Chains A and B, each alone.
Chain A
């Protein structure tokens, strides 16, 4: 009887610990300070074209949300943000021929905004840091 009671108490304690450690927020969405800083940088600099929801505007500004072009090469994303992009690209089987200007972000800002766009709207990638960004040179 005593053994069963102790078992129930132990099970209850384990369950409480499990519930306390569970969080409805995905670590990649809100857990990283870099992603949170990147969200602000994105709102001020990128959302104008790529939209706050990352969906872009059909035929004009390519989507970042679940974008094959973005997610297949994160270094290319960093280079694009730093140096801009011109010419035809294909994103999720649609062509875009616009022009994007480069941004004068610090290494940390570049890493933050890359972390935001690659970990939002269903995108998921390993986060980068300022050292990674420092290897992306301004042309």
Chain B
């Protein structure tokens, strides 16, 4: 089947029920997207599906036909998306495992609402779990990014 990931077209021969996460990681070698819980509950595997944040572990690749997929590798050319810059500036990650998913959720949130309130940020980011519990910094970085869009 044909896929469009980070602006590039790929043709792969694969079981259509394979979760997109494993297509990205094992077939396309885009390993920035992480496996967390595998049941769409933690947010580590978040990617953009036509600009909307989704959990790639829970979506079969069959649903990705004619969809523009963006992963953390394709969010910006030089890692300089305002969310990524805020992440570095505020030294957000601790272990860093969840950050690709956090950044993908945050960037999708800001593309739909470029001036979110603190409450909207908290709510919008609430589906992404950080086991190091750096939520204060995460939310602060999203706020800072929103001011630099």
Contact = CB atoms under 8 A, between A and B. Distances in A.
A60 B61 CA distance: 10
B126 A59 contact: no
B40 A43 contact: no
B124 A101 contact: no
B41 interface: yes
Contacts of B114: none
B123 A57 contact: no
A45 B55 CA distance: 13
A43 B52 contact: no
A77 B126 CA distance: 23
B96 interface: no
Contacts of A49: 40, 55, 58
Contacts of B123: 39-40, 43-44
Contact of A57 (B39, B41, B43, B49): B49
Contacts of B79: none
Nearest to B65: A59
B127 A43 contact: yes
Nearest to A49: B40
Contacts, number: 38
B63 A48 contact: no
B30 interface: no
A47 B108 CA distance: 13
A60 B52 CA distance: 15
A44 B40 contact: no
A43 B123 CA distance: 6
B60 A43 contact: no
Nearest to A41: B126
B54 A57 contact: yes
A51 interface: yes
A57 B127 contact: no
Contacts of B55: 48-49
Given A48-B40, A49-B58, A101-B39, A43 B63 contact: no
Given A39-B123, A48-B40, A60-B59, 9 more contacts: A48-B54, A48-B55, A48-B58, A49-B55, A49-B58, A52-B124, A57-B54, A57-B63, A59-B63
Interface of B: 39-41, 43, 49, 52, 54-55, 58-60, 62-63, 112, 123-124, 126-127
- By Cβ-Cβ distance, the 4 closest A-B pairs, closest first, are A44-B126, A60-B63, A43-B123, A48-B127
5 contacts: A44-B127, A47-B127, A49-B40, A51-B54, A60-B59
